[in-house]
Structure 1
Amino acid sequence: MARIGIIGSAGRMGQALRDAIAQGGHDYAGGVDRDGDPAALAAQSDVLVDFSAPGALESNCEAAIAVGVPMVVGTTGLEERHHWLIDAAALSIPILQTGNTSLGVTLLAHLVREAAQRLGPDWDIEIVETHHRMKVDAPSGTALLLGEAAACGRGERLGDVEQRARDGITGAREPGAIGFASLRGGTVAGDHAVHFLTDHERLTLTHMAENRAIFARGAVRAAQWLLGRAPGRYTMPEVLDL
């Protein structure tokens, strides 16, 4: 049993996390939001789960470091500078950052990496994601996670091969590119499809999220897994021993 604190507790994901904490037999240590004090929450928690906003990451990491509590970061829309903050925090605390805490998506990323490695450069890769109309970032953190898995399978950096938008006369598809398309509408919790396409043949790996509860359950499992770990930066595949 762990005392789990939630940073970003007021939203729909916060409610899903509270439900998952109770279902997992853990204690809800409390929550903070935009005007709250993450340091006070960290002091009364065994582990923190952060689903807030990129702009709050620095203060959240400082709060966790100050009292030595582990932290799961599920916030999306992170930029390179945010990853530097996470790397720095990992020198002092165990911290796990992911664009998606779903166990199913974690396994999907593993399969995407394997497929990209085994199929080779003759197969084009396109990633299509669909989310609810209120989502503010695109491509989704999950789509980027899957893109990174595909690029890793090919021994490349995603930033060197990604294509995030096509409009107008774009010319032929660049060989080796990993393309992204983002759809927004309705109340879709999150659908992701990774298409592998070559001459006369297509393979699609898909994950569909029906409810935010799947992300909450995965985040709670990751939080529990972090307890007792040495300082370092961890990933969801390690939670599943992939």
Structure 2
Amino acid sequence: MSTLNIAIAGAGGRMGRMLVEAVLNADDLRLSGALGIAGSDGLGQDAGAFLGKASGAIVTSDLAEGLKGADVLIDFTRPEGTLQHAEYCAAHGIKLVIGTTGFDDAGKAALKAAAEKTAIVFAPNMSVGVNVTLKLLELAAKSLSTGYDIEIIEAHHRHKVDAPSGTALKMGEVIADALGRDLKECAVYGREGVTGERDPSTIGFATIRGGDIIGDHTVLFAGTGERIEISHKSSSRAGYAQGSLRASRFLADKSTGLFDMYDVLGLNQ
């Protein structure tokens, strides 16, 4: 496989720096560019400066400059920024790996349209472990379709701006699909006061925000006399970064199309 040129959006952020480090440590990838918004950390500096390395990629807010020569852009920013990046990449034949969460239906439709012009891997969580967990949840939901109440509990750091997390929502979607339900109709996102007995057809969500928690997700299947818990806990963003690199390699021979991590990992079979 020839060397892939990778650009990183949000290169000065926590996830961006993890991605920069991962790319610089990969033998088959080259950091070709780095994007940051005006006023962001590291703007105008070498993207590898925080590691004491000279990568040759200067963090810039200019899309044309930051994406010059890029084969793939990896983007874990905010929906409004990602949509701008997707429009540019679609127009210039640059592939995308998108880990951004919080898109509304219009945003998801815009990404689907962009995928008609370039290849995109879009997933709420790029971790290989999380996506294997999603497959396990699909199996569990089918086997525990009656007699079990389903609750999804997620915890993240105090800086996360959307809730529930994209991963928690994806877990809910996978479970709802396996049960033949529509998550929009059966999700319960908060409980307060006298709520009455629990509707057994619902899927509940609980959100925790605090400290520097990277990301914890637990799905509870609570039955009579027993409960099953399926959990994934992240102690580092390294798993997200490595999954993103795997997704970038997957796109190497793709020209158009919208893919997810199930496609990358062969879990759709």
Aligned to 1:74: 99
AA matched with 2:144: L
Q: Cα deviation per residue 1:71-95 (whole Å; 9 max; x = unaligned)?
A: 0111111111110111101111111
The whole-number CA distance in structure 1 between the counterparts of 2:244 and 2:64 is 20
Q: Indicate yes or no: 2:167 matched with 1:142.
A: yes
The structural deviation recorded for 1:219 is 0.8
Q: Secondary structure at the match of 1:226?
A: helix
Q: Secondary structure at the match of 1:43?
A: coil
The whole-number CA distance in structure 2 between the counterparts of 1:115 and 1:166 is 25
Contact kept, 8 Å, 1:42 with 1:67, in 2: the verdict is no
The structural deviation recorded for 1:42 is 3.0
Contact kept, 8 Å, 1:139 with 1:180, in 2: the verdict is yes
The whole-number CA distance in structure 2 between the counterparts of 1:4 and 1:230 is 16
The whole-number CA distance in structure 2 between the counterparts of 1:75 and 1:111 is 23
The structural deviation recorded for 1:33 is 1.8
Match of 1:86 among 111, 114, 118: 111
Structure 1 runs of 4+ aligned residues shifted over 4 Å read none
Match of 1:166 among 173, 179, 191: 191
Q: Secondary structure at the match of 1:181?
A: strand
Match of 1:31 among 30, 34, 37: 34
Aligned to 2:10: 8
AA matched with 1:15: R
The whole-number CA distance in structure 2 between the counterparts of 1:38 and 1:196 is 46
**What is the TM-score when the length of structure 2 is the normalising length?**
0.87
Q: Secondary structure at the match of 2:103?
A: coil
Q: Secondary structure at the match of 1:134?
A: coil
Higher relative contact order, chain-length normalized (CA < 8 Å, sep 6+): 1
The structural deviation recorded for 1:67 is 1.3
Looking at CA atoms only, which structure, 1 or 2, has the larger radius of gyration? 2
The structural deviation recorded for 1:104 is 0.2
Aligned to 2:82: 57
Give % identity. Answer: 39
**What is the TM-score when the length of structure 1 is the normalising length?**
0.96
The structural deviation recorded for 1:66 is 1.4
The whole-number CA distance in structure 2 between the counterparts of 1:149 and 1:230 is 27
The structural deviation recorded for 1:102 is 0.5
The structural deviation recorded for 1:186 is 1.4
Q: 1:210-225 alignment to 2 at 5 Å?
A: 210-225=235-250
Contact kept, 8 Å, 1:121 with 1:154, in 2: the verdict is no
The structural deviation recorded for 1:24 is 2.1
Q: Secondary structure at the match of 1:216?
A: helix
Match of 2:149 among 111, 115, 124: 124
Structure 1 residues without counterparts, runs of 5 or longer: none
The whole-number CA distance in structure 1 between the counterparts of 2:243 and 2:207 is 24
Q: Secondary structure at the match of 2:80?
A: helix
